Amino acid sequence: MERVQIFEANEVSAEKCLSIFVSIISGSAYALLRNLLSPVSSKDKSLDEVIAILKDHYKPKPIIVEKFHFLSQSQLPGELVAHFIAELRCLLIHCTLICILRKP
C-alpha cells in the first residue's frame, strides 16, 4: 500500500488515483479485488475504501483461531476451578463469544 504515496508525491487527482491503483496491481490481486467487491464495481468505490477492503482481507481478525482456543480449553487435573475460569476469561478478551460465566 506504499504505492499510494506515489500519487501524493506526483500530485495525481483523487479521481485518477483509483484507476491508476487498479492498473498497477497484479492480475491476481485485481481478480481478488473484483471478487471482494462483487456485485459492486471498483469504479463505485474510493481508493481509501478499496485499500481498506484489501487490508481487511489480507489481515483478518483472528476470530476463528481465538474461538478454537476458547472451545478447546479444558481444565487440567488438579487445577483450581477459579484458575480455570480466569483462563477462560482471558481467552474471551479476543473472542467474540458471549460470556456465560458471571462473576459471583
Closest CA to 56 of 34, 33, 78: 33
Q: How far apart are CA 98 and CA 47, in angstroms?
A: 35
- Answer whether residue 101 shows pLDDT above 70: no
Q: How far apart are CA 3 and CA 10, in angstroms?
A: 11
Element (DSSP H or E) covering residue 52: helix 47-58
pLDDT for 15-48, tens place per residue?
A: 777 888 888 888 898 899 889 988 888 778 888 8
pTM score, two decimals? 0.52
Q: How far apart are CA 51 and CA 36, in angstroms?
A: 12
Q: How far apart are CA 25 and CA 9, in angstroms?
A: 19
Closest CA to 51 of 17, 78, 81, 75: 17
Average pLDDT of span 82-100? 76
